Chain A
Amino acid sequence: MTDFTDEQIQRYSRHIILPEVGGKGQKKLRQAKVLIIGAGGLGSPAALYLTAAGIGTLGLVDGDVVDLSNLQRQVLHTTDRIGAPKVESGRQLLEALNPDVNLVLYPEHVGAPNILDLLADYDLVLDGSDNFSTRFLVNDACYFAKKTLISGSIFRFEGQLLTIKPHAGYPCYRCLYPEPPPAGLVPNCQEAGVLGVLAGTIGILQANEAIKEILGIGESLARHLLLYDALDMSFRKVARPKDPACPLCGTSPTITTIQDTLVSCSLQTQP
């Protein structure tokens, strides 16, 4: 505790008072390095709560600029910052919230050429991306780089959440979904519509699971998929076994390098 200032002890007092966190846990949070992919609907609330929680280093990756249609759910951004790079817009709010956090900004799009470099300095990754190509790429890269990944995704009124750590013997994303859908079969663009609050719900749950992984408390979502339905107001957990036939982390893998998977966007309302 001695290396926290009085001000920091006060700032994190509601954490420190929890036996599950304490000064020791708060120190773990300060030592943690978390990379958030996407400063959008999921990344915004996750970044806000992780910053508030005193995560030591927070990386934010996003190559887009703020658009008026983002503001219905992307709470890092504000009307006066339309047109600004999202990571820069995010920085303004996050720095004002907690100057203790070392923010690292990556105003770039994620792809096979840069993903491993992006991950290299981090312990834990949050995927808040908006397309299948990036999700499969991030899963594969985290597998090769042995990084824990907290994956959240949203569609209309439904959300999915899972913790991925195959390096610790747990299933990967491809154990759950071996391949992305072929182009045109699943709507995966923001134009399909999403309840703004849903992004907050799932993004905050990603931050929750990240903090649990860092502190090593509670039950990890590494063996389950959490399904949330905002209309039914139901949370369900289904089993997510490790697949011995997984093309990435199975016994005879067919994916051995990082590659971009091309999946185009479509507005057709089919799975």
Chain B
Amino acid sequence: MLAALGAIGGTALKVALVFGILLTMVAYLVWLERKVLGHIQSRRGPLHVGPHGLLQPLADITKLFLKEDVIPDGADRVIFSLAPGIAVASAMSAIAVIPFGQVVSLFGHPIRLHIADVDIGILYILAVGSLGVYGLILGGWASNNKFSLLGGLRSSAQMVSYELSLGLALVGPLMLAGTLRMQGIVDAQRNLWFICLQPLGFIIYIVSALAETNRIPFDLPEAESELVAGYHVEYSGFKFAFFFLAEYVAMITVACVATTLFLGGYHGIGVNAAWLGPAWFMGKVALLLFLFIWIRGTLPRFRYDQLMQLGWKVLLPLAFLNVALTGVIAIWLDRSS
């Protein structure tokens, strides 16, 4: 009984810690994005709050908290309030199965740097990820505004389309590792990261992930020039902050998944002490996040038909090809060895 309570308490502590780190990362990811975009566009970005604008996230959060929370007339109040929560919850839940490091010992107790090591890690990520679309589509519908409805429908069509290529891109690494367990997939990359064996899968994953998180060049759901701001046009204050949070948490989540499946997770190059695992992991995640911001600063937005063409006629066949090739080569290597 005591041991069970201890296990529950330990997991709760881990969850609280990961939650805190995640929220801090989101705050500074927004700062980083503004700073990097500024420099890409020959501006200096936020400067005035704190040194180099480092306290800007705090100012932003305070502003969002203090703003009036408006629910428009004719909106469906229950679903209007529920939608941002669904968006954040589905984005955050995926982090639970990501391994951040090996087993480390703290004051003599072994601690796994992993909240839940479930058998079906990848499927779990796909499952909670597929629920994220509800936040957007319900938010768009409940606002009782034609632009939000269009934004919500667009985003769900986009997410449903790109989920296929995203899922298929993950099949490559899991075939090579021979397990759906995230810990097993990371262990299988001890000597060689899967990005070396699965370059096509990695590219398909990154492109689909950008579409799944509604980032430029795939940010059609909130295309401000045609749809005002898409599904969250009626949202303000705290509820808007939740949608904002969900988008950035989703970015971090897809970066974590890419790191775990393609970039060797917590395995480093050369130095590989158990305590360094989380540092390696964070470093790789940060690199991917920088890549996302860089892409945002570089590419224009796609047109809707181009988006669908790319998803169904390019990425999906390529993903199938990748799965078939990986299977053939894996069996061939198996036979010859």
- Our verdict on whether A and B bind, yes or no, reads no
**A residues at B contact (CB < 8 Å):** none
Query: Which residues does B use to contact A, with CB under 8 Å?
Result: none
